[in-house]
């Protein structure tokens, strides 16, 4: 009987990837929505004194606790069938290093830079790796769609994109490195045929084992004791259950259904969904320019996925 943890390694395009999968699009958009809620909730947490390291602790502590029972009952000695070497590689790509690079980047560069550089790097790198590793086609329509998404992200970022200091290149390099790490996570998971549940369990439990003890020793829990319980519960739900577990499950399944190149578009939607989700959470409404950027990003995504077809251009 074949294990639930992994499927056969994929060396090329599957029948699912050769046609558009509505389920894959729904799952990818759901992942972007959950990640957008993570960013919006993080922004709301700043007002109560939380920083990126606090958020990372909540995320990995919760998702690790949620996925540990599954792992204990599904080949724990081989990390759910993923294998320790592969599991560590996936956790290095989408775990604490990825989160801390993103957080540290904002100490050196403006928020707008991260909103453009990280998802753009991830999209381009994933598309290139998908061509090299799986022979995925990147036709004129998808190339145009990816370019339109990047332009839309730049519009959403507005004038902040042009802010810079002597330290800005350091932050930009961190954002680019985080984007590259996510690209490697996307293609490695597909290359090895790791199932969404197994990949999520491996990343969650290994990340939890690294970040939680370090945080408890260095920082402690005194900051959380001062938070309102309902707010802390919301953080646990959004940061851990939705962004840490549900989003990872949705995204890895979208990669299986759509291919790595197409699925790489969805992380680029996170700044967009963060703005939308942030309206009720923070009371901040998008400016007219940001609304225009949201529309451009959406159009680019639809073109890149092949939902909207440009005459004489094929995805």
Of 227, 239, 236, which Cα lies nearest the Cα of 277? 239
Give the mean pLDDT per block of 10 residues along the chain (315 residues): 42 52 92 85 70 84 95 94 95 90 80 80 89 83 85 78 79 91 93 93 95 92 84 87 93 92 87 76 72 84 76 56
Check if the beta carbon of residue 204 is closer than 8 Å to that of residue 64.
yes
Residue with tokens 């197409």: 262
Residue 14 lies in a domain: no
Contacts of 289 (CB under 8 A, 6+ apart): 155, 158
Residue 86 lies in a domain: yes
Domain that includes residue 123, residue range = 22-305
Per-residue pLDDT tens digits for 241-273: 998 899 999 999 999 999 888 898 898 888 888
At residue 19, the pLDDT reads 63
At residue 163, the pLDDT reads 73
Residue 17 lies in a domain: no
At residue 11, the pLDDT reads 44
The three-state secondary structure class of 235 is helix
Residue 15 lies in a domain: no
At residue 47, the pLDDT reads 65
Q: Which two tokens stand for residue 3?
A: 């294990």
Q: How far apart are CA 70 and CA 110, in angstroms?
A: 39
Residue 102 lies in a domain: yes
Residue 207 lies in a domain: yes
Residue 48 lies in a domain: yes
Sign of CA dihedral 49, 177, 35, 120: positive
Q: 194 to each of 5, 51, 90, 136, 186, how far by Cα in Å?
A: 7, 32, 10, 19, 11
How many separate domains does the chain show? 1
Per-residue pLDDT tens digits for 75-131: 999 999 999 999 999 999 999 888 888 877 877 887 677 778 888 888 889 988 988
Residue 313 lies in a domain: no
Of 266, 314, 246, which Cα lies nearest the Cα of 25? 266
Contacts of 315 (CB under 8 A, 6+ apart): 137, 139, 141, 142, 304, 305, 306, 309
Q: How far apart are CA 195 and CA 245, in angstroms?
A: 13
Q: In terms of pTM, does the model score above 0.85?
A: no
Q: Where are the alpha helices (DSSP H) in the chain?
A: 22-46, 52-72, 84-94, 96-105, 111-134, 140-157, 168-191, 196-218, 222-225, 229-235, 247-258, 260-263, 270-282, 288-305
At residue 85, the pLDDT reads 95
Q: How far apart are CA 256 and CA 186, in angstroms?
A: 10
At residue 311, the pLDDT reads 63
Phi, psi (5° rounding) for residue 6? -135, 160
DSSP assignment of 122-151 equals HHHHHHHHHHHHH-----HHHHHHHHHHHH
At residue 310, the pLDDT reads 66
At residue 284, the pLDDT reads 66
Let me know if 314 is exposed, middle or buried by CB neighbors in 10 A (0-12, 13-18, 19+): exposed
The 10 Å Cβ neighbour count of residue 107 is: 11
């Amino acid at each position: 009987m074949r294990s639930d943890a992994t499927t056969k390694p994929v060396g090329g395009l599957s029948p699912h990837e050769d046609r558009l999968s509505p389920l894959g699009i729904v799952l990818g958009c759901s992942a972007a929505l959950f990640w957008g809620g993570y960013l919006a909730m993080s922004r709301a947490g700043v007002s109560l004194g939380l920083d990126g390291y606090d958020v990372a602790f909540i995320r990995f502590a919760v998702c690790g606790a949620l996925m540990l029972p599954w792992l204990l009952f599904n080949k724990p000695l081989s990390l759910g069938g993923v294998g320790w070497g592969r599991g560590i590689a996936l956790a290095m790509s989408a775990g604490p290093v990825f989160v801390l690079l993103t957080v540290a980047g904002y100490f050196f560069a403006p928020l707008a830079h991260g909103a453009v550089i990280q998802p753009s790097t991830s999209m381009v790198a994933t598309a290139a790796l998908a061509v090299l590793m799986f022979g995925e086609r990147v036709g004129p329509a998808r190339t145009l769609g990816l370019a339109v998404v990047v332009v839309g992200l730049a519009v959403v970022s507005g004038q902040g994109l042009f802010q810079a200091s002597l330290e800005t290149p350091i932050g930009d390099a961190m954002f680019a490195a985080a984007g590259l790490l996510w690209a490697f996570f996307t293609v490695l998971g597909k290359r090895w045929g790791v199932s969404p549940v197994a990949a999520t369990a491996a990343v969650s439990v290994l990340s939890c084992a690294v970040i939680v003890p370090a945080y408890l020793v260095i920082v402690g829990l005194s900051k959380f004791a001062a938070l309102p319980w309902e707010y802390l519960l919301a953080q646990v739900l959004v940061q851990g259950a939705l962004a840490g577990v549900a989003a990872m499950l949705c995204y890895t399944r979208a990669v299986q259904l759509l291919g790595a190149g197409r699925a790489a578009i969805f992380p680029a939607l996170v700044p967009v969904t963060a703005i939308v989700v942030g309206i009720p959470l923070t009371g901040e409404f998008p400016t007219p320019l940001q609304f225009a950027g949201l529309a451009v990003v959406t159009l680019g995504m639809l073109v890149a996925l092949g939902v909207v077809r440009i005459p004489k251009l094929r995805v």
